[in-house]
Each structure stands twice: as C-alpha cells, then as structure tokens.
Amino acid sequence: MTAMALQLTVKLYGTLDKWVPGYQHESGCVVHLQASSTVADLIGQLGIPPRSVGIVSVNGRMARKADLLPDRAVVKVFHPIFGG
C-alpha cells in the first residue's frame, strides 16, 4: 500500500522565486509531496536553501519547519526580513 500524496498550493514572497524556475507570482505553484511531509520537506523539494526562509504560514497560521503539512494546504513562504 502506498501513502497518499499531498497537493499543496505554494506562494513565494520576496526573492524566493529565483529558486523555483517558472514560478508565477499571480497563481503560485502546485507541489505534490508524500503524505507525512513537513514544512522542511517542502522547502527542500522546492530547492530553497533553509537559511533563505524566514516565515512560513500554512492555511494562514505560522508554521515551524517540523510541522506536518495537510493535504490541499496553502503554504506561504517569506524570505527573512532585515532592517533597522
């Protein structure tokens, strides 16, 4: 028996789109992952270096890299914000 796959809608903010060829700002992208995948798994699948990720939200709630992703989630990934 194979694990069900997750389908996620991913939106990237800041300069993160440079890591995902063909990324469309208007619609984001659809990513398929194995069930029981985490936020960190998604970041790895996208090819984004972990240090380039600031905040991640899943369905409007802040998420940690170890959090499991639910099927059909909307994931927003923001680059780190600096200033002063």
Which tens digits make up the pLDDT trace of 13-46? 999 999 999 999 999 999 999 999 999 999 999 9
DSSP letters spanning 36-60: T-BHHHHHHHHT--GGG--EEEETT
| pLDDT > 70: percent of the chain | 94
Count of other CB atoms within 10 angstroms of residue 46: 18
Instruction: Name the more confident of 28 and 84.
Output: 28
Q: What CATH code is assigned to 5-78? A: 3.10.20.30
Q: What proportion of the chain, given as a percentage, has pLDDT over 90?
A: 90
Domain coordinates of the chain in residue numbers? Answer: 5-78
pTM summary value: 0.91
Q: Does pLDDT of 1 surpass 50?
A: no
